[in-house]
Amino acid sequence: MLDIKWIRENPADLDKALKRRGIPAFSEKILLIDEQRRSAMTELQNLQSRRNDISKQIGVAKAQKQDAAHLFDEMKNIGPAIKKFEEQERELEQEQHDILSALPNIADANTPDGKDEEDNEVIRTWGEIRKISDPQAHYDLGEALGLMSFDIAAKLAGSRFVWLQGSLAKLERAVTNFMLDTHTERHGYIEASVPFMANGETLFGTGQLPKFSEDLFKTDMGYYLIPTSEVPLTNSVRGDIIPAENLPIKFTTASPSFRSEAGSAGRDTRGMIRVHQFTKVEMVHIVHPDKSEAALEELVSHAEYILQQLELPYQVVNLCTGDLGFGAHKTYDLEVWLPSQNKYREISSCSNCGAFQARRMKARFRSGEKQTELVHTLNGSGLAVGRTLVAILENYQQADGSIAIPTVLQPYMGGQTVIAIENTKQAKAG
RNA sequence: GGAGCGGUGGCAGAGUGGUUGAAUGCACCAGUCUUGAAAACUGGCAUGGGUGCGAGCCCAUCGUGGGUUCAAAUCCCACCCGCUCCGCCA
Protein backbone atom coordinates (compact mmCIF):
# COMPACT_ATOMS: atom_id res chain seq x y z
CA MET A 1 0.00 0.00 0.00
CA LEU A 2 1.22 3.46 -0.86
CA ASP A 3 1.30 6.36 1.55
CA ILE A 4 -1.71 8.64 1.14
CA LYS A 5 0.27 11.55 2.57
CA TRP A 6 2.94 11.06 -0.04
CA ILE A 7 0.30 10.87 -2.78
CA ARG A 8 -1.27 14.09 -1.50
CA GLU A 9 2.04 15.88 -1.80
CA ASN A 10 3.33 14.22 -4.97
CA PRO A 11 0.35 13.35 -7.17
CA ALA A 12 2.35 13.78 -10.37
CA ASP A 13 5.02 11.40 -9.12
CA LEU A 14 2.37 8.79 -8.40
CA ASP A 15 0.98 8.98 -11.91
CA LYS A 16 4.47 8.83 -13.36
CA ALA A 17 5.23 5.75 -11.27
CA LEU A 18 1.97 4.07 -12.24
CA LYS A 19 2.62 4.77 -15.88
CA ARG A 20 5.96 2.97 -15.64
CA ARG A 21 4.00 -0.10 -14.55
CA GLY A 22 1.39 0.33 -17.24
CA ILE A 23 -1.38 1.63 -15.02
CA PRO A 24 -3.43 4.71 -15.89
CA ALA A 25 -3.22 7.86 -13.76
CA PHE A 26 -5.07 7.65 -10.49
CA SER A 27 -4.00 10.68 -8.49
CA GLU A 28 -6.90 12.89 -9.45
CA LYS A 29 -9.48 10.37 -8.34
CA ILE A 30 -7.63 9.52 -5.14
CA LEU A 31 -7.12 13.15 -4.24
CA LEU A 32 -10.78 13.93 -4.79
CA ILE A 33 -11.91 11.10 -2.54
CA ASP A 34 -9.28 11.99 0.01
CA GLU A 35 -10.47 15.55 0.16
CA GLN A 36 -14.11 14.54 0.51
CA ARG A 37 -13.16 12.03 3.14
CA ARG A 38 -11.25 14.51 5.22
CA SER A 39 -13.94 17.13 4.95
CA ALA A 40 -16.54 14.60 6.12
CA MET A 41 -14.17 13.64 8.88
CA THR A 42 -13.70 17.21 10.05
CA GLU A 43 -17.45 17.72 10.07
CA LEU A 44 -17.93 14.50 11.98
CA GLN A 45 -15.26 15.33 14.52
CA ASN A 46 -16.76 18.73 15.19
CA LEU A 47 -20.10 17.11 15.93
CA GLN A 48 -18.48 14.44 18.09
CA SER A 49 -16.65 17.11 19.98
CA ARG A 50 -19.93 18.93 20.60
CA ARG A 51 -21.57 15.69 21.69
CA ASN A 52 -18.80 14.98 24.17
CA ASP A 53 -19.12 18.49 25.46
CA ILE A 54 -22.87 18.26 26.05
CA SER A 55 -22.51 14.81 27.53
CA LYS A 56 -20.16 16.14 30.12
CA GLN A 57 -22.49 19.02 30.89
CA ILE A 58 -25.37 16.60 31.36
CA GLY A 59 -23.24 14.62 33.71
CA VAL A 60 -22.45 17.70 35.73
CA ALA A 61 -26.07 18.87 35.71
CA LYS A 62 -27.30 15.50 36.88
CA ALA A 63 -24.76 15.41 39.66
CA GLN A 64 -25.94 18.80 40.84
CA LYS A 65 -29.59 17.87 40.35
CA GLN A 66 -30.11 20.65 37.83
CA ASP A 67 -32.44 20.64 34.87
CA ALA A 68 -30.80 19.46 31.66
CA ALA A 69 -33.73 19.54 29.28
CA HIS A 70 -32.23 22.08 26.87
CA LEU A 71 -29.10 19.95 26.58
CA PHE A 72 -31.17 16.92 25.68
CA ASP A 73 -32.85 18.93 22.95
CA GLU A 74 -29.59 19.82 21.26
CA MET A 75 -28.43 16.25 21.55
CA LYS A 76 -31.54 15.04 19.72
CA ASN A 77 -30.30 16.83 16.61
CA ILE A 78 -26.68 15.93 16.90
CA GLY A 79 -27.30 12.20 17.07
CA PRO A 80 -28.70 11.77 13.55
CA ALA A 81 -26.20 14.24 12.11
CA ILE A 82 -23.35 12.21 13.52
CA LYS A 83 -24.82 9.05 12.07
CA LYS A 84 -25.03 10.66 8.67
CA PHE A 85 -21.42 11.83 8.61
CA GLU A 86 -20.20 8.59 10.11
CA GLU A 87 -21.70 6.71 7.25
CA GLN A 88 -20.37 9.16 4.69
CA GLU A 89 -16.90 9.03 6.19
CA ARG A 90 -16.94 5.25 6.34
CA GLU A 91 -17.95 4.92 2.70
CA LEU A 92 -15.25 7.30 1.51
CA GLU A 93 -12.69 5.61 3.72
CA GLN A 94 -13.67 2.25 2.24
CA GLU A 95 -13.49 3.58 -1.28
CA GLN A 96 -10.06 5.06 -0.71
CA HIS A 97 -8.85 1.89 0.98
CA ASP A 98 -10.08 -0.25 -1.91
CA ILE A 99 -8.22 1.85 -4.44
CA LEU A 100 -4.99 2.02 -2.45
CA SER A 101 -5.10 -1.72 -1.70
CA ALA A 102 -5.13 -2.52 -5.39
CA LEU A 103 -2.29 -0.23 -6.46
CA PRO A 104 1.10 -1.93 -6.87
CA ASN A 105 4.30 -0.75 -5.29
CA ILE A 106 6.38 1.89 -7.00
CA ALA A 107 9.35 0.60 -8.94
CA ASP A 108 12.85 1.57 -7.92
CA ALA A 109 14.69 4.15 -10.04
CA ASN A 110 17.15 1.39 -11.01
CA THR A 111 14.41 -0.93 -12.19
CA PRO A 112 14.55 -0.99 -15.98
CA ASP A 113 11.40 -0.03 -17.86
CA GLY A 114 9.94 -2.85 -19.85
CA LYS A 115 6.95 -4.87 -20.89
CA ASP A 116 7.76 -8.43 -19.86
CA GLU A 117 10.62 -10.78 -19.00
CA GLU A 118 12.23 -10.04 -22.36
CA ASP A 119 13.16 -6.64 -20.99
CA ASN A 120 14.78 -7.85 -17.79
CA GLU A 121 18.36 -6.82 -17.42
CA VAL A 122 21.05 -9.45 -16.91
CA ILE A 123 23.35 -8.22 -14.16
CA ARG A 124 25.87 -11.05 -14.05
CA THR A 125 26.31 -14.71 -14.81
CA TRP A 126 28.14 -17.32 -12.80
CA GLY A 127 29.47 -20.79 -13.42
CA GLU A 128 30.45 -22.83 -16.38
CA ILE A 129 27.82 -24.63 -18.36
CA ARG A 130 28.69 -28.32 -18.64
CA LYS A 131 28.76 -29.82 -22.06
CA ILE A 132 26.12 -32.53 -22.13
CA SER A 133 25.37 -34.30 -25.36
CA ASP A 134 21.67 -34.90 -25.85
CA PRO A 135 20.59 -33.59 -22.45
CA GLN A 136 17.48 -35.24 -21.01
CA ALA A 137 14.70 -33.38 -19.27
CA HIS A 138 14.42 -33.85 -15.52
CA TYR A 139 11.09 -35.69 -15.82
CA ASP A 140 12.53 -38.22 -18.26
CA LEU A 141 15.55 -38.73 -16.05
CA GLY A 142 13.48 -39.04 -12.90
CA GLU A 143 10.96 -41.44 -14.36
CA ALA A 144 13.65 -43.56 -15.98
CA LEU A 145 15.33 -43.87 -12.60
CA GLY A 146 12.02 -44.99 -11.14
CA LEU A 147 12.17 -42.22 -8.57
CA MET A 148 9.68 -39.72 -9.92
CA SER A 149 6.07 -40.33 -10.89
CA PHE A 150 3.46 -37.98 -12.24
CA ASP A 151 1.02 -40.88 -12.62
CA ILE A 152 0.94 -41.58 -8.91
CA ALA A 153 0.68 -37.87 -8.14
CA ALA A 154 -2.17 -37.50 -10.63
CA LYS A 155 -4.00 -40.41 -9.06
CA LEU A 156 -3.62 -38.89 -5.63
CA ALA A 157 -4.33 -35.28 -6.44
CA GLY A 158 -4.46 -34.46 -10.15
CA SER A 159 -2.25 -32.78 -12.67
CA ARG A 160 0.58 -30.48 -11.65
CA PHE A 161 1.67 -32.56 -8.69
CA VAL A 162 4.70 -34.77 -8.32
CA TRP A 163 5.62 -37.92 -6.45
CA LEU A 164 9.22 -38.55 -5.48
CA GLN A 165 10.64 -41.60 -3.83
CA GLY A 166 13.88 -43.28 -2.85
CA SER A 167 17.04 -41.28 -3.32
CA LEU A 168 15.17 -38.48 -5.01
CA ALA A 169 12.85 -38.01 -2.05
CA LYS A 170 15.90 -38.05 0.16
CA LEU A 171 17.68 -35.59 -2.10
CA GLU A 172 14.84 -33.14 -1.58
CA ARG A 173 15.40 -33.44 2.14
CA ALA A 174 19.15 -33.09 1.68
CA VAL A 175 18.80 -29.95 -0.42
CA THR A 176 16.37 -28.45 2.09
CA ASN A 177 18.61 -29.16 5.05
CA PHE A 178 21.70 -27.92 3.28
CA MET A 179 19.98 -24.63 2.54
CA LEU A 180 18.58 -24.18 6.03
CA ASP A 181 21.90 -25.03 7.66
CA THR A 182 23.73 -22.60 5.43
CA HIS A 183 21.33 -19.75 6.14
CA THR A 184 21.25 -20.30 9.87
CA GLU A 185 24.91 -21.12 10.42
CA ARG A 186 26.61 -18.98 7.79
CA HIS A 187 24.16 -16.17 7.04
CA GLY A 188 22.71 -15.48 10.47
CA TYR A 189 19.06 -16.34 9.99
CA ILE A 190 16.67 -17.57 12.65
CA GLU A 191 14.96 -20.74 11.51
CA ALA A 192 11.19 -20.79 11.89
CA SER A 193 8.56 -23.45 11.54
CA VAL A 194 5.36 -21.87 10.35
CA PRO A 195 1.66 -22.54 9.71
CA PHE A 196 1.04 -23.54 6.10
CA MET A 197 -2.37 -21.95 6.22
CA ALA A 198 -3.17 -18.35 6.96
CA ASN A 199 -6.13 -16.05 7.36
CA GLY A 200 -7.24 -13.29 5.01
CA GLU A 201 -5.66 -10.51 7.01
CA THR A 202 -2.29 -12.21 6.72
CA LEU A 203 -2.61 -12.59 2.95
CA PHE A 204 -3.60 -8.95 2.74
CA GLY A 205 -0.50 -7.95 4.67
CA THR A 206 1.92 -9.30 2.09
CA GLY A 207 -0.24 -8.21 -0.84
CA GLN A 208 -1.72 -11.45 -2.17
CA LEU A 209 -5.18 -10.15 -1.26
CA PRO A 210 -7.44 -8.60 -2.33
CA LYS A 211 -6.18 -8.64 -5.93
CA PHE A 212 -4.83 -12.13 -6.45
CA SER A 213 -7.27 -14.42 -4.69
CA GLU A 214 -7.60 -16.58 -7.80
CA ASP A 215 -3.96 -17.61 -7.41
CA LEU A 216 -4.60 -19.01 -3.95
CA PHE A 217 -6.09 -22.22 -2.62
CA LYS A 218 -8.74 -21.57 -0.03
CA THR A 219 -10.26 -24.07 2.35
CA ASP A 220 -13.98 -24.12 3.01
CA MET A 221 -13.17 -23.05 6.54
CA GLY A 222 -11.80 -19.78 5.20
CA TYR A 223 -8.10 -20.52 5.49
CA TYR A 224 -5.73 -19.92 2.61
CA LEU A 225 -2.86 -22.29 1.80
CA ILE A 226 0.28 -20.20 1.76
CA PRO A 227 1.64 -19.56 -1.76
CA THR A 228 5.04 -18.92 -0.16
CA SER A 229 6.32 -18.84 3.40
CA GLU A 230 7.13 -15.19 2.80
CA VAL A 231 3.52 -14.79 3.94
CA PRO A 232 3.85 -16.18 7.47
CA LEU A 233 7.45 -15.02 7.95
CA THR A 234 6.77 -11.42 6.98
CA ASN A 235 3.45 -11.25 8.80
CA SER A 236 5.09 -12.42 12.00
CA VAL A 237 5.67 -8.73 12.79
CA ARG A 238 2.24 -7.55 11.69
CA GLY A 239 0.85 -4.90 14.04
CA ASP A 240 4.06 -4.76 16.04
CA ILE A 241 6.21 -1.87 17.13
CA ILE A 242 9.70 -3.31 17.16
CA PRO A 243 12.48 -1.85 19.34
CA ALA A 244 15.02 -0.32 16.94
CA GLU A 245 17.83 -2.39 18.38
CA ASN A 246 16.03 -5.59 17.35
CA LEU A 247 16.46 -4.78 13.67
CA PRO A 248 17.30 -6.36 11.38
CA ILE A 249 15.26 -9.52 11.88
CA LYS A 250 16.18 -12.34 9.52
CA PHE A 251 13.99 -15.44 9.27
CA THR A 252 14.31 -18.54 7.19
CA THR A 253 12.06 -21.56 6.89
CA ALA A 254 11.34 -24.49 4.63
CA SER A 255 7.73 -24.99 3.69
CA PRO A 256 5.51 -26.18 0.91
CA SER A 257 4.15 -23.45 -1.35
CA PHE A 258 0.68 -23.87 -2.82
CA ARG A 259 -0.28 -22.16 -6.05
CA SER A 260 -3.42 -22.56 -8.06
CA GLU A 261 -1.56 -21.63 -11.27
CA ALA A 262 -4.76 -20.15 -12.62
CA GLY A 263 -4.05 -18.62 -15.98
CA SER A 264 -0.95 -20.66 -16.63
CA ALA A 265 -2.70 -23.37 -18.62
CA GLY A 266 -0.41 -24.81 -21.28
CA ARG A 267 2.79 -23.43 -19.73
CA ASP A 268 5.34 -25.87 -18.35
CA THR A 269 2.73 -28.59 -18.27
CA ARG A 270 5.25 -31.38 -17.95
CA GLY A 271 7.52 -31.98 -15.02
CA MET A 272 8.21 -30.22 -11.80
CA ILE A 273 8.77 -26.71 -13.07
CA ARG A 274 5.25 -25.48 -12.47
CA VAL A 275 3.24 -27.45 -9.94
CA HIS A 276 0.52 -26.77 -7.39
CA GLN A 277 2.77 -27.68 -4.49
CA PHE A 278 6.50 -27.34 -4.13
CA THR A 279 8.98 -27.07 -1.31
CA LYS A 280 10.80 -23.80 -0.90
CA VAL A 281 13.32 -22.39 1.52
CA GLU A 282 12.49 -18.77 2.12
CA MET A 283 14.44 -15.87 3.56
CA VAL A 284 12.81 -12.75 4.98
CA HIS A 285 14.42 -9.58 6.28
CA ILE A 286 12.68 -6.99 8.47
CA VAL A 287 14.93 -3.94 8.38
CA HIS A 288 15.40 -0.24 9.07
CA PRO A 289 14.35 1.79 6.00
CA ASP A 290 17.91 3.06 5.52
CA LYS A 291 19.17 -0.49 5.28
CA SER A 292 16.81 -2.11 2.82
CA GLU A 293 18.81 -1.34 -0.28
CA ALA A 294 21.90 -3.01 1.14
CA ALA A 295 19.78 -5.82 2.56
CA LEU A 296 18.58 -6.72 -0.92
CA GLU A 297 22.16 -7.18 -2.11
CA GLU A 298 22.87 -9.29 0.95
CA LEU A 299 19.76 -11.37 0.38
CA VAL A 300 20.66 -12.07 -3.23
CA SER A 301 24.18 -13.02 -2.25
CA HIS A 302 22.77 -15.59 0.18
CA ALA A 303 20.70 -17.20 -2.54
CA GLU A 304 23.62 -17.05 -4.95
CA TYR A 305 25.87 -18.73 -2.43
CA ILE A 306 23.60 -21.77 -2.43
CA LEU A 307 23.79 -22.07 -6.20
CA GLN A 308 27.55 -21.63 -6.11
CA GLN A 309 27.93 -24.34 -3.50
CA LEU A 310 25.78 -26.61 -5.64
CA GLU A 311 27.92 -25.61 -8.63
CA LEU A 312 24.90 -24.76 -10.71
CA PRO A 313 25.43 -22.10 -13.42
CA TYR A 314 23.08 -19.15 -13.09
CA GLN A 315 22.48 -15.56 -14.00
CA VAL A 316 21.15 -12.68 -11.96
CA VAL A 317 18.57 -10.47 -13.60
CA ASN A 318 17.12 -7.15 -12.54
CA LEU A 319 13.40 -7.45 -13.23
CA CYS A 320 11.88 -4.77 -15.43
CA THR A 321 8.76 -2.85 -14.45
CA GLY A 322 6.55 -5.17 -16.48
CA ASP A 323 7.77 -8.29 -14.69
CA LEU A 324 7.92 -6.82 -11.19
CA GLY A 325 5.65 -8.37 -8.57
CA PHE A 326 2.75 -6.42 -7.08
CA GLY A 327 4.43 -5.60 -3.78
CA ALA A 328 7.98 -5.31 -5.01
CA HIS A 329 10.01 -2.12 -5.21
CA LYS A 330 12.99 -3.85 -6.77
CA THR A 331 13.55 -7.51 -7.59
CA TYR A 332 16.49 -9.66 -8.60
CA ASP A 333 15.67 -13.05 -10.04
CA LEU A 334 18.19 -15.86 -10.01
CA GLU A 335 17.89 -18.03 -13.06
CA VAL A 336 19.54 -21.43 -13.15
CA TRP A 337 20.77 -23.13 -16.29
CA LEU A 338 18.56 -25.96 -17.53
CA PRO A 339 20.36 -28.05 -20.20
CA SER A 340 17.19 -29.65 -21.59
CA GLN A 341 15.64 -26.26 -22.25
CA ASN A 342 18.94 -24.71 -23.25
CA LYS A 343 18.15 -21.64 -21.21
CA TYR A 344 18.08 -20.08 -17.75
CA ARG A 345 14.94 -20.55 -15.64
CA GLU A 346 13.87 -18.76 -12.48
CA ILE A 347 14.91 -20.51 -9.27
CA SER A 348 14.82 -17.59 -6.86
CA SER A 349 13.23 -14.19 -6.63
CA CYS A 350 14.59 -11.64 -4.18
CA SER A 351 12.59 -8.49 -3.58
CA ASN A 352 12.80 -5.33 -1.58
CA CYS A 353 9.22 -4.31 -0.80
CA GLY A 354 10.17 -1.10 0.99
CA ALA A 355 7.36 0.04 3.28
CA PHE A 356 4.67 -1.35 0.99
CA GLN A 357 3.92 -4.48 2.99
CA ALA A 358 4.75 -2.81 6.30
CA ARG A 359 2.07 -0.22 5.70
CA ARG A 360 -0.50 -2.94 5.01
CA MET A 361 0.63 -4.84 8.08
CA LYS A 362 1.13 -1.80 10.32
CA ALA A 363 4.58 -3.11 11.13
CA ARG A 364 6.67 -0.38 12.69
CA PHE A 365 9.78 0.16 14.73
CA ARG A 366 10.50 2.77 17.37
CA SER A 367 12.51 5.41 15.54
CA GLY A 368 12.73 7.88 18.40
CA GLU A 369 11.59 8.56 21.94
CA LYS A 370 8.02 9.04 20.78
CA GLN A 371 8.10 8.32 17.07
CA THR A 372 7.39 5.17 15.16
CA GLU A 373 8.21 4.45 11.56
CA LEU A 374 7.28 1.69 9.15
CA VAL A 375 9.90 -1.01 8.68
CA HIS A 376 11.04 -2.23 5.30
CA THR A 377 10.51 -5.86 4.32
CA LEU A 378 12.42 -8.08 1.94
CA ASN A 379 11.95 -11.64 0.87
CA GLY A 380 13.76 -14.10 -1.32
CA SER A 381 13.82 -17.76 -2.15
CA GLY A 382 16.87 -19.46 -0.97
CA LEU A 383 16.03 -21.49 -3.03
CA ALA A 384 12.97 -23.08 -4.56
CA VAL A 385 13.74 -26.69 -3.63
CA GLY A 386 11.62 -28.30 -6.36
CA ARG A 387 13.38 -26.39 -9.10
CA THR A 388 16.72 -27.02 -7.43
CA LEU A 389 16.06 -30.74 -7.83
CA VAL A 390 15.24 -30.13 -11.46
CA ALA A 391 18.49 -28.25 -11.91
CA ILE A 392 20.54 -30.93 -10.19
CA LEU A 393 18.97 -33.72 -12.22
CA GLU A 394 19.59 -31.95 -15.48
CA ASN A 395 23.02 -30.45 -14.81
CA TYR A 396 24.42 -33.50 -13.07
CA GLN A 397 23.02 -36.10 -15.44
CA GLN A 398 25.52 -38.63 -16.76
CA ALA A 399 25.59 -40.51 -20.03
CA ASP A 400 24.09 -43.63 -18.45
CA GLY A 401 21.13 -41.74 -17.00
CA SER A 402 22.42 -41.66 -13.48
CA ILE A 403 22.78 -38.45 -11.50
CA ALA A 404 25.95 -37.34 -9.75
CA ILE A 405 25.27 -35.83 -6.34
CA PRO A 406 26.81 -32.37 -5.77
CA THR A 407 29.69 -32.55 -3.31
CA VAL A 408 28.09 -30.35 -0.65
CA LEU A 409 25.02 -32.58 -0.56
CA GLN A 410 26.85 -35.85 -0.16
CA PRO A 411 27.13 -35.58 3.64
CA TYR A 412 23.36 -35.01 3.70
CA MET A 413 22.95 -38.18 1.60
CA GLY A 414 24.91 -40.40 3.95
CA GLY A 415 27.94 -40.28 1.71
CA GLN A 416 26.07 -41.32 -1.42
CA THR A 417 27.71 -39.89 -4.55
CA VAL A 418 25.40 -40.95 -7.32
CA ILE A 419 21.74 -41.70 -7.90
CA ALA A 420 21.19 -44.65 -10.18
CA ILE A 421 18.22 -46.83 -11.03
CA GLU A 422 16.83 -48.24 -7.86
CA ASN A 423 15.12 -51.55 -7.42
CA THR A 424 11.74 -50.18 -6.60
CA LYS A 425 8.63 -52.01 -5.50
CA GLN A 426 6.50 -49.21 -6.85
CA ALA A 427 5.62 -50.64 -10.25
CA LYS A 428 4.07 -47.50 -11.63
CA ALA A 429 6.97 -45.32 -10.68
CA GLY A 430 9.08 -46.65 -13.51
C1' G B 1 -18.09 -31.47 19.59
C1' G B 2 -20.05 -30.46 25.11
C1' A B 3 -19.49 -27.34 29.78
C1' G B 4 -17.33 -23.19 32.10
C1' C B 5 -14.14 -18.83 32.52
C1' G B 6 -11.69 -14.80 30.41
C1' G B 7 -9.78 -10.83 26.67
C1' U B 8 -8.31 -3.21 29.61
C1' G B 9 -1.78 0.67 28.28
C1' G B 10 5.31 -2.62 27.45
C1' C B 11 3.80 -6.13 31.60
C1' A B 12 0.71 -6.98 35.97
C1' G B 13 -3.97 -5.36 37.43
C1' A B 14 -8.47 -1.86 39.19
C1' G B 15 -12.69 0.11 37.01
C1' U B 16 -20.67 1.90 40.60
C1' G B 17 -23.50 3.91 32.54
C1' G B 18 -21.88 10.35 33.42
C1' U B 19 -15.80 15.99 33.39
C1' U B 20 -12.20 7.80 32.56
C1' G B 21 -7.61 7.59 27.58
C1' A B 22 -8.67 4.98 31.79
C1' A B 23 -6.66 4.02 39.32
C1' U B 24 -2.46 1.43 41.22
C1' G B 25 2.13 -1.36 40.91
C1' C B 26 6.32 -2.89 37.94
C1' A B 27 9.34 -1.69 33.85
C1' C B 28 11.23 2.49 31.10
C1' C B 29 12.99 7.88 30.39
C1' A B 30 14.36 12.74 32.58
C1' G B 31 15.43 15.44 36.95
C1' U B 32 16.53 16.23 42.46
C1' C B 33 19.71 14.19 46.12
C1' U B 34 24.83 11.67 45.93
C1' U B 35 32.04 11.83 44.89
C1' G B 36 29.55 7.92 41.76
C1' A B 37 25.82 4.23 41.94
C1' A B 38 21.68 2.26 44.59
C1' A B 39 17.60 3.84 47.49
C1' A B 40 14.23 7.76 48.09
C1' C B 41 11.62 11.76 45.96
C1' U B 42 9.57 14.77 41.59
C1' G B 43 7.94 14.69 36.70
C1' G B 44 7.18 12.11 32.15
C1' C B 45 5.73 7.64 29.76
C1' A B 46 -0.19 4.23 24.29
C1' U B 47 -1.47 4.18 19.01
C1' G B 48 -3.68 6.13 14.75
C1' G B 49 -5.94 10.30 12.53
C1' G B 50 -7.86 15.53 11.56
C1' U B 51 -6.41 20.68 11.90
C1' G B 52 -2.72 24.64 12.44
C1' C B 53 3.53 28.06 10.45
C1' G B 54 3.69 26.72 15.46
C1' A B 55 3.00 25.98 21.18
C1' G B 56 -1.31 23.47 20.57
C1' C B 57 -6.43 22.10 19.82
C1' C B 58 -9.71 18.22 18.41
C1' C B 59 -11.43 13.03 17.12
C1' A B 60 -11.09 7.77 17.49
C1' U B 61 -9.38 3.36 19.94
C1' C B 62 -10.46 -0.88 26.69
C1' G B 63 -10.48 -8.37 21.34
C1' U B 64 -13.79 -7.26 16.52
C1' G B 65 -18.48 -5.74 14.56
C1' G B 66 -23.44 -4.32 15.54
C1' G B 67 -27.23 -2.55 19.11
C1' U B 68 -29.58 0.04 23.54
C1' U B 69 -28.89 5.19 25.63
C1' C B 70 -28.75 12.17 25.79
C1' A B 71 -24.11 9.45 27.27
C1' A B 72 -20.90 2.69 26.94
C1' A B 73 -14.47 -0.05 29.05
C1' U B 74 -19.15 -0.66 31.93
C1' C B 75 -25.73 -3.06 29.53
C1' C B 76 -27.50 -6.45 25.13
C1' C B 77 -26.38 -9.52 20.57
C1' A B 78 -23.03 -11.87 17.10
C1' C B 79 -18.24 -13.20 15.89
C1' C B 80 -12.86 -13.92 16.83
C1' C B 81 -9.00 -15.34 20.13
C1' G B 82 -7.12 -17.52 24.75
C1' C B 83 -7.50 -20.73 29.16
C1' U B 84 -9.72 -25.01 32.20
C1' C B 85 -12.52 -29.63 32.32
C1' C B 86 -14.95 -33.62 29.39
C1' G B 87 -15.19 -36.28 24.63
C1' C B 88 -12.40 -37.46 20.17
C1' C B 89 -7.62 -37.70 18.12
C1' A B 90 -1.57 -37.60 15.54
Beta partners for residue A242, in sequence order? A365
Active site residue A201: no
- CB A371 within 8 Å of CB A248: no
- Give distance CA A422 / C1' B13 (Å): 66
Do A4-102 and A117-429 share a fold?
A: no
Which residues put CB within 7 Å of chain B, the nucleic strand?
A 4-5, 38, 41-42, 44-46, 48-49, 51-56, 58-60, 62-63, 72, 75-76, 79, 241, 364, 366, 369-370, 372
Q: Which nucleotide is nearest to A45 (CA to C1')?
A: B59
How long is the CA A44 to C1' B80 vector, in angstroms?
29
Among all strands, which nt has the closest C1' to A52 (CA)? Answer: B71
Q: DSSP string spanning A51-95?
A: HHHHHHHHHHHHHTT---HHHHHHHHHHHHHHHHHHHHHHHHHHH
- Nucleotide nearest A72, CA–C1', reads B70
SS (H, E, C) A146-167: CCEEHHHHHHHCCCCCCEECHH
Gap from A370 CA to B25 C1', in Å? 23
A369-to-A197, A290, A291 alpha-carbon distances in Å: 37, 18, 20
Domain ranges of chain A: 4-102, 117-429
DSSP string, A351-379: EE-TTHHHHHHT-EEE-SSS-EEE-EEEE
The three state secondary structure string of A271-328 is: CCCCCCEEEEEEEEEEECHHHHHHHHHHHHHHHHHHHHHCCCCEEEEECCCCCCCCCC
For domain A4-102, say whether CATH 1.10.287.40 is its number. Answer: yes
Comparing every residue's Cα with the C1' atom of nucleotide B17, the nearest one is A59
Active-site residue, selected from the candidate residues A121, A346, A373, A422: A346
**Residue A368: per-residue pLDDT:** 74
Smallest Cα–C1' distance to nucleotide B50: which residue has it?
A42
**Amino acid A107 CA to nucleotide B81 C1' distance, rounded Å:** 38
Decide if A346 is catalytic.
Answer: yes
CA-to-C1' span, A189 to B25 (A): 38
Q: Which nucleotides of B are covered by protein (CB under 7 A)?
A: 18-19, 29, 47-51, 58-60, 70-71
**Closest-approach nucleotide to residue A364, Cα vs C1':** B47
Instruction: Decide if A387 is catalytic.
Output: yes
The full DSSP string for A12-65 is HHHHHHHHHTT----HHHHHHHHHHHHHHHHHHHHHHHHHHHHHHHHHHHHHTT
Reply yes or no on whether A301 is catalytic. Answer: no
Protein CA A139 to sugar C1' B86 (Å)? 52
pTM over 0.90: yes
> How far: A359 CA to B15 C1' (Å)?
35
Catalytic residue of the set A37, A160, A259, A360 = A259
| CATH no. for A117-429 | 3.30.930.10
Task: Note the pLDDT of residue A423.
Answer: 65
Sequential pLDDT tens for chain A (430 residues): 999 999 999 999 999 999 999 999 999 999 999 999 999 888 888 988 888 888 888 887 777 777 777 788 788 788 888 888 888 888 898 899 999 999 999 999 999 999 999 999 999 999 999 999 999 999 999 999 999 999 999 999 999 999 999 999 999 999 999 999 999 999 999 999 999 999 888 999 999 998 999 999 998 888 899 999 999 999 999 888 888 888 899 999 999 999 999 888 888 989 999 999 999 999 999 999 999 999 999 999 999 999 999 999 999 999 999 999 999 999 999 999 999 999 999 999 999 999 999 999 989 888 877 788 899 999 999 999 999 999 999 999 999 999 999 999 999 999 999 999 876 555 444 4
- Say if residues A347 and A381 touch (Cβ distance below 8 Å): yes
CA distance A313 to A298: 19
> How far apart (Å, rounded) are the C-alpha atoms in residues A222 and A235?
18
